[in-house]
Amino acid sequence: MKVTVIGTGYLGATHAACMAELGHQVLGVDTDVKKLERLASGSVPFYEPGLEEILQRNIESGRLSFTDSYAEAAEFGDVHFIGVGTPQKKGEYAADLRYVDSVIETIAPLITRPATIFGKSTVPVGTASRLGQRARELSPAGEALEIAWNPEFLREGFAVQDTLRPDRIVLGVDRNRSGQAEKVAREVYAPILKDGLPFLVTDLATAELVKVSANAFLATKISFINAIAEVCEASGADVSVLADAIGFDARIGRRFLNAGIGFGGGCLPKDIRAFMARAGELGADQALTFLREVDAINMRRRVAMVESAKEFCGGSLLGGRVGVLGAAFKPESDDVRDSPALNIAGQMQLQGAAVTVYDPKAMKNSRALFPTLGYAESAIEACEGADAVLVLTEWDEFRKMLPADLDDVVRRKRIIDGRNCLDPQTWRNAGWAYRGVGRP
Ligand code: UDX
């Protein structure tokens, strides 16, 4: 099939490469010419395991190319995916829809034959219906231009795997008109549907809500365990053991119950806020007031970590040296958007500490976002002369670190494990003061 993917960020670039991998002819579309040049040369502008290989393979086979021309895209594709960003509006909770709006405003007038647009971006409920109406107004194809919503559930770090082997496909279609969207989607995804993958066809509103509800649930699960961690800290209990114990209950499940410095990234924080804002517009704000608490618990973890580091350093960070291991919002990613790790590093610096950060992949992005922090080329270098070491992203490299690696490097043997990813006994036995989150 001839497919375009509009927007070549984390979501769009992955989707474009994976659609080509499924055998389709794919055109990736973006307004950022530099990014397009880089992608076209086979280089992924962010770190995503396995993606570069698929990108290169499909460029070489001639199935994947890139353009900044919407006219070319409209001419090329019978199927168009929208994968542009929906960030949080500045100073507001609501999502900024200018990029999705602009895609429709630009491409719809150029589409002259029957086509299907599948929105993948995370949008407030009601957006797809509105965009559909606008697209039909603008396009010479009129009613023959269909809009459906096909939310994306990919996790950064597992983006390729999640796209090629998703756990479900959700498709929202306009129930008020008879269209081809389901048939088209089944053709697009045919190679992955074979394995009996759940394929749920819903109305547009449900599909939009599925995505934000999933993210709200995940955020709630993390803040739940972080709230329990606070009680564990107050009572001397161990939240890691507690999470294991409750996680054996299949109704609860152990995943996403890791206490620590909380969630960040380009999705969870802004999605729960946009969800609250949209519920408010719909007069259902009471339904989601609990998400305010989820957000508050999450943001409190960052402040608590800074306080914990301060206490650990004898009551003040002023003049202290802190080695921070990890800057990405999670391992296997170079994404530092709303990263708790980098946020904590910044706050400690504001309180007078000399902070040196090391991350295996996120150095470039960290430097761009927080240029005034100190940066090191390795974990060891970041910890040189440190009064405290903070592990804030649970990269394998840090999990595997041994006290002996740092014994002669630091000034004081103090380690704070912001992700509960180290073995406390190993460090304590080696003479280190160890502090985790919600652990005695
Ligand atoms: C998330 C959703 O998982 C994905 O389905 C959606 O499509 C996009 O948003 P992602 O942002 O890539 O994906 O990250 P995710 O793996 O969900 O982690 C989010 C944050 O939660 C990270 O900062 C992570 O460190 C934190 N987290 C995760 C915890 O603090 N504890 C946990 O137990 C799990």
Residue 392, pLDDT score: 98
Q: Which of 121, 165, 263 to mutate to test the pocket of ligand 1 (most atoms within 8 A of CB)?
A: 263
pLDDT, tens digit (0-9, with 9 covering 90-100), for 365-397: 999 999 999 999 999 999 999 999 999 999 999
Q: Please indicate, yes or no, whether residues 19 and 71 belong to a single structural domain of this protein.
A: yes
In angstroms, the CA 352 to CA 272 distance is 33
Burial class of residue 378, CB neighbours in 10 A (0-12, 13-18, 19+): exposed
Is-contact 217 223, C-beta < 8 A?
Answer: no
Coil, strand, or helix at residue 255? coil
How close is the Cα of 279 to the center of ligand 1, in Å? 23
Coil, strand, or helix at residue 314? coil
Query: What's the chain's average pLDDT?
Result: 97
In angstroms, the CA 360 to CA 379 distance is 9
Is the confidence at residue 431, as pLDDT, over 80?
yes
**202 domain-assigned:** no
Q: Please indicate, yes or no, whether residues 245 and 102 belong to a single structural domain of this protein.
A: no
In angstroms, the CA 433 to CA 415 distance is 6
3-state helix, strand, coil in the chain (%, to 5): 45, 15, 40
Q: Please indicate, yes or no, whether residues 352 and 422 belong to a single structural domain of this protein.
A: yes
Is-contact 141 111, C-beta < 8 A?
Answer: yes
**408 domain-assigned:** yes
Helices 51-60 and 10-21: angle between axes, nearest 10 degrees: 50
Q: What is the 3-state secondary structure (H, E, C) of 216-263?
A: HHHHHHHHHHHHHHHHHHHHCCCHHHHHHHHHCCCCCCCCCCCCCCCC
Mean pLDDT (whole number) for 131-151: 98
Percent of the chain at pLDDT > 70 equals 100
Q: Please indicate, yes or no, whether residues 264 and 389 belong to a single structural domain of this protein.
A: no
Residue 195, pLDDT score: 77
Mean pLDDT (whole number) for 399-405: 98
CA-259 nearest atom, ligand 1:
31
In angstroms, the CA 242 to CA 226 distance is 12
Q: Please indicate, yes or no, whether residues 240 and 348 belong to a single structural domain of this protein.
A: no
Tell me which amino acid residue 74 is.
A
Q: Please indicate, yes or no, whether residues 283 and 356 belong to a single structural domain of this protein.
A: no
What CATH number corresponds to the domain at position 94? 3.40.50.720
Helical H segments across 358-395, by residue range: 363-369, 379-382
Of 170, 197, 224, the one marking the end of a domain is 197
Q: Please indicate, yes or no, whether residues 315 and 283 belong to a single structural domain of this protein.
A: no
How close is the Cα of 250 to the center of ligand 1, in Å? 20
Is-contact 323 349, C-beta < 8 A?
Answer: no
Domain span at residue 363 reads 300-435
Mean pLDDT (whole number) for 311-317: 92
In angstroms, the CA 126 to CA 129 distance is 6
Q: Please indicate, yes or no, whether residues 287 and 331 belong to a single structural domain of this protein.
A: no
CA-214 nearest atom, ligand 1:
5
Enter the tokens of residue 280.
């408010």
Of 279, 295, 311, the one marking the end of a domain is 295
In angstroms, the CA 218 to CA 212 distance is 10
Is the confidence at residue 438, as pLDDT, over 80?
yes
Enter the tokens of residue 364.
């470039």
Q: Please indicate, yes or no, whether residues 136 and 97 belong to a single structural domain of this protein.
A: yes
Residue 254, pLDDT score: 98
Residue 418, pLDDT score: 98
DSSP characters over 100-165? HHHHHHHHGGG--S-EEEEE-S---TTHHHHHHHHHHHH-TTGGGEEEEE----PPTTSHHHHHHS
Q: Please indicate, yes or no, whether residues 160 and 216 belong to a single structural domain of this protein.
A: no
Q: What is the 3-state secondary structure (H, E, C) of 187-220?
A: HHCHHHHCCCCCEEEEEHHHHHHHHHHHHHHHHH
**440 domain-assigned:** no
**204 domain-assigned:** no
Residue 101, pLDDT score: 98
Q: Supply the pTM of this predicted model.
A: 0.96
Q: Please indicate, yes or no, whether residues 104 and 141 belong to a single structural domain of this protein.
A: yes
Of 226, 260, 295, the one marking the end of a domain is 295
In angstroms, the CA 21 to CA 37 distance is 20
Instruction: Find how far residue 271's CA is from the centre of its chain.
Output: 10
In angstroms, the CA 385 to CA 322 distance is 8
**253 domain-assigned:** yes
Is-contact 215 272, C-beta < 8 A?
Answer: yes
Burial class of residue 224, CB neighbours in 10 A (0-12, 13-18, 19+): middle
What CATH number corresponds to the domain at position 220? 1.10.1040.10
How close is the Cα of 211 to the center of ligand 1, in Å? 14
**263 domain-assigned:** yes
CA-158 nearest atom, ligand 1:
12
**328 domain-assigned:** yes
Task: Tell which residue, 380, 249, 248, 252, has the closest CA to residue 325.
Answer: 380
pLDDT, tens digit (0-9, with 9 covering 90-100), for 173-198: 999 998 999 999 999 999 999 778 99
Is-contact 277 92, C-beta < 8 A?
Answer: yes
User: Is 267 a residue of the active site?
Assistant: yes
- Count of structural domains, the chain: 3
Enter the tokens of residue 86.
């929906």
How close is the Cα of 156 to the center of ligand 1, in Å? 8
Is-contact 115 146, C-beta < 8 A?
Answer: yes
Enter the tokens of residue 233.
């800290």
Q: Please indicate, yes or no, whether residues 273 and 360 belong to a single structural domain of this protein.
A: no
Residue 113, pLDDT score: 97
State which H helix or E strand residue 415 sits in. strand 414-417
pLDDT, tens digit (0-9, with 9 covering 90-100), for 201-229: 999 999 999 999 999 999 999 999 999 99
In angstroms, the CA 26 to CA 79 distance is 10
Instruction: Find how far residue 92's CA is from the centre of its chain.
Output: 20
Q: Which residue CA neighbors atom 33 of ligand 1 most closely?
A: 256
In angstroms, the CA 172 to CA 121 distance is 13
**334 domain-assigned:** yes
Which protein residues touch ligand 1 with a CB less than 6 Å away? 152-156, 215, 218, 222, 256-258, 260, 262-265, 267-268, 329-330
